[in-house]
Amino acid sequence: MTYQENIFAGKTALVTGATRGIGAAIANRLASLGARTIAAGLGASTDSLDPGIEVRVGDVSKQEDVDRFLAGLDELDIVVNCAGIIRRGDEHDPAVFEQVLAVNLTGTMRVCSAARGLLARRGGCIVNTASMLSFFGGSLVPAYSASKGGVAQLTKSLALAYAVDGIRVNAIAPGWIATPMTQSLQDDPTRSGPILARTPLGRWGKPEDVAEGTVFLCTPAAAFMTGVILPIDGGYMVA
């Protein structure tokens, strides 16, 4: 047991993009530690979620959907922004570029802004999802890279702005994680080989690896941390 059992008992958490992959792993981990957990997503299968997790369907690029994620909540302690899309090879089209930013960057801001009042009542925290591509570019994914660079800077800016409310704002920066979003790369030896060769820990990350880092940022152990972009990448960025 890494954390005290039920460390989040009495806490309420909202995780967006939580119906699969990293978001689902984070929602499951928060729930396993006692949080009332709300998983928000586009309505895909919820088979990845543990029983007892509440599901609210919607799109972070639509204000009315974000309002529905928060509807009826009197308390909110944790917000994790995991909603994200990638359109490899198509993002040089300005229309696609705008779509990706609308979800990954503006959607993150929309959720943070909507949740601020509730979080302020409880001295809560936000964890955004940046990426290793917040630090360097990707020729096939200019929109994803730009959006994740934006998430990193947004996180730092909101850490400053929300500190007056006692809200901490941090971000995780996942590396190469084995999720449906990276399945095509995992299945292609010519792409997967170089990724693993550069990763000092020698494997693809698991969604659970990212969930553990996220949970840490939500615990009292991180009480004096805000504005941090935490890489969870097996050492890829320093190799």
Q: What is the CATH number of the domain that holds 87?
A: 3.40.50.720
pTM: 0.96
Determine, yes or no, domain membership for 1: no
- pLDDT at residue 18 greater than cutoff 70: yes
pLDDT at 44 (0 to 100): 63
25 CB burial (10 A radius; 0-12, 13-18, 19+): buried
Determine, yes or no, domain membership for 159: yes
91-130 tens-digit pLDDT: 999 999 999 999 999 999 999 999 999 999 999 999 999 9
Indicate the pairing of strand 125-129 with strand 78-81: parallel
Determine, yes or no, domain membership for 93: yes
Average pLDDT over residues 226-236: 98
Domain count, the chain: 1
* pLDDT, averaged across the chain: 96
Determine, yes or no, domain membership for 236: no
The DSSP annotation for 14-56 comes to EEES-SSHHHHHHHHHHHHTT-EEEEEESS---TTSPTT-EEE
Residues tagged active-site: 144
Which residue intervals of the chain are DSSP H helices? 21-32, 63-70, 94-101, 107-122, 142-162, 183-186, 189-198, 207-218
Domain limits at 60? Answer: 12-230
Determine, yes or no, domain membership for 237: no
pLDDT cut 90: percent of the chain above it: 93
pLDDT cut 70: percent of the chain above it: 100
